[in-house]
Homo-oligomer: A and B are copies of this chain.
Amino acid sequence: MEALENDRFLRALLREPVDVTPVWMMRQAGRYLPEYRATRARAGSFMDLCKSPELACEVTLQPLERFPLDAAILFSDILTIPDAMGLGLYFAEGEGPRFEHPVRSAADIDRLGVPDPEQELKYVMDAVRTIRHELHGRVPLIGFSGSPWTLSTYMVEGGSSKEYSNVKGMLFERPDLMHKLLDTLARSVTGYLNAQIAAGAQAVMIFDTWGGILTPRDYREFSLRYMEQIVAGLTREADGRRVPVVLFTKGGGGWLEAMADTGCDALGVDWTLDLADARRRVGDRVALQGNMDPTVLYASPERIRQEVVTILESYGKGSGHVFNLGHGIHQHVDPEHAAAFIEAVHELSAPWHQ
């Protein structure tokens, strides 16, 4: 493997000195880019796009052609694992993800196997290999997965949900079943992320999109515990470098301390926290990734710069911060505004690293 031209993303995740604050954007390969929409139209369905390593590579690289981003992130979906388990993932027009066979009973859970990443999920590993090759060492490649709890919400509800009554019903009434399902998922995610690392991912991120709908007790027991299990089972070195792990629980601002104790390297934080507070709370245990409100990208470039200044000031001096949005970039954002954002981070962060 060739040496990285730009490794400031990996360095910041490990709290090593950097020249400027690295930046990438959640969902940076997405619908706000006309070239993405063109590839998506050629691909057919969203899952067709995910399942074609060549097209997944193409859209992964698109934002890097436009912007001096400090990392690439695998283009894929968090629901590839349940799909590989045979639940029949599909996307109903304008309705989000759905499963043909939701998981509701002990028998449904018993039936679930741990997918072999190089068999049922080979298309993801092929995408990782293709992207890593095509990056030619420009920037690191991030692999990712949904958290076990988050995957279980979709699997038990059969798709997106407002009340989560089925999955919480299982959690409240049959915690034994819930734990069995989450353990199967944790083992699946561990194998999946390790395979991504073997295929070339240089950092991995676990998205716990729905951890924030739980009580603190249930979060620890049903979400955090399984992320900790995954972190403990991950390959932490590849090509002679540490592979950093980032955990992100949306709405998990109250639990940063516990998240920082899982053995991960960094935490994603949304915009409902001040980075200064977050940094004080996690100390030097982990780096922080975030946390601009993605809606700011609808504002003028001048206003975007002002928000970047505020967030840089809030984090303060030194390494350990990866600039990002607190959630995925919105689809109607003008790409020129994303460009202004990324430029502002690089330009305005230099003094904080002197």
Contact = CB atoms under 8 A, between A and B. Distances in A.
Given A172-B303, A299-B172, A299-B173, A272 B165 contact: no
A173 B303 CA distance: 7
Given A163-B295, A165-B298, A217-B310, A251 B272 contact: yes
Interface residues of A, number: 32
Contact of A254 (B172, B254, B293, B295): B254
Given A295-B163, A330-B163, A271 B215 contact: yes
A228 B251 CA distance: 25
Nearest to A219: B272
Interface in A298-345: 298-300, 303, 307, 310, 330, 332
A272 B214 contact: yes
A168 B332 CA distance: 14
A273 interface: yes
Contacts of A274: 215-217
Interface in A158-175: 163-165, 168-169, 172-173
Given A253-B254, A299-B173, A273 B168 contact: no
B168 A295 contact: yes
A164 B293 CA distance: 11
A172 B215 contact: no
Which 10 residue pairs of A and B lie closest in terms of their CB atoms, listed nearest first? A172-B299, A168-B295, A215-B271, A216-B274, A165-B298, A172-B303, A253-B254, A169-B298, A163-B330, A173-B299
